[in-house]
Amino acid sequence: MRDSLRTGICFGLTSAVITTLGLMVGLHSGTHSRIVVLAGVLTIAIADAFSDALGIHISEESDKTRTAKQVWGATIATFLTKFLFALTFAVPVLLLPLSVAIIVSLLWGLSILTALSYIIARSQDKPAWKIVGEHLIIASLVLVITHWVGDLIGTLRV
């Protein structure tokens, strides 16, 4: 059960950070609209949390060594982690000017990803800089691409 909870929490945290930040950055660069960014965050918190939880549920079910308790443990841990952490990104959007909220959200999300990556590296006796660096590079790539796509879409007249 412990492994299932760890799977759900690690997956949920990573997905909450990458998906929510990617969406926020893309929507901000494309619209510069607080309400659009907030709607995106709430959509991720609800729809994507359910989607990720179902994905983990099916993935865990496909592993014949998992018990029903382990499957549901990973499912619930994924949903709650994704849902709750994705919602934390709404706070700066509600309280701060949008451009500042995006920066605060980036710092918050990358801090979560750094801490999680560090914990994983330490638990596997691997150099933390390699694991943290790898994960931050991937996250940065997602953010650069979503920003670029948002800029591109923002120039379209539809």
Average pLDDT of 23-30? 96
Domain tally, the chain: 1
pLDDT band with cut points at 50, 70 and 90 for residue 1: low
Note the pTM of the prediction, 2 decimals.
0.91
Please report, for residues 23, 49, 142, 158, the alpha-carbon distance to residue 9 in angstroms, rounded to integers and kept in the order given. 21, 12, 21, 40
What pLDDT score does 4 carry?
87
36: containing domain: 2-155
Phi, psi of 131 (to 5 degrees): -70, -50
Q: How far apart are CA 130 and CA 101, in angstroms?
A: 29
Average pLDDT of 1-7? 85
Write out pLDDT tens, residues 67-76: 999 999 999 9
CA angle 37, 93, 111 (to 5 degrees): 100
More confident residue, 32 or 2: 32
Write out pLDDT tens, residues 81-105: 999 999 999 999 999 999 999 999 9
Write out pLDDT tens, residues 122-158: 999 999 999 999 999 999 999 999 999 999 999 986 6
pLDDT band with cut points at 50, 70 and 90 for residue 2: confident
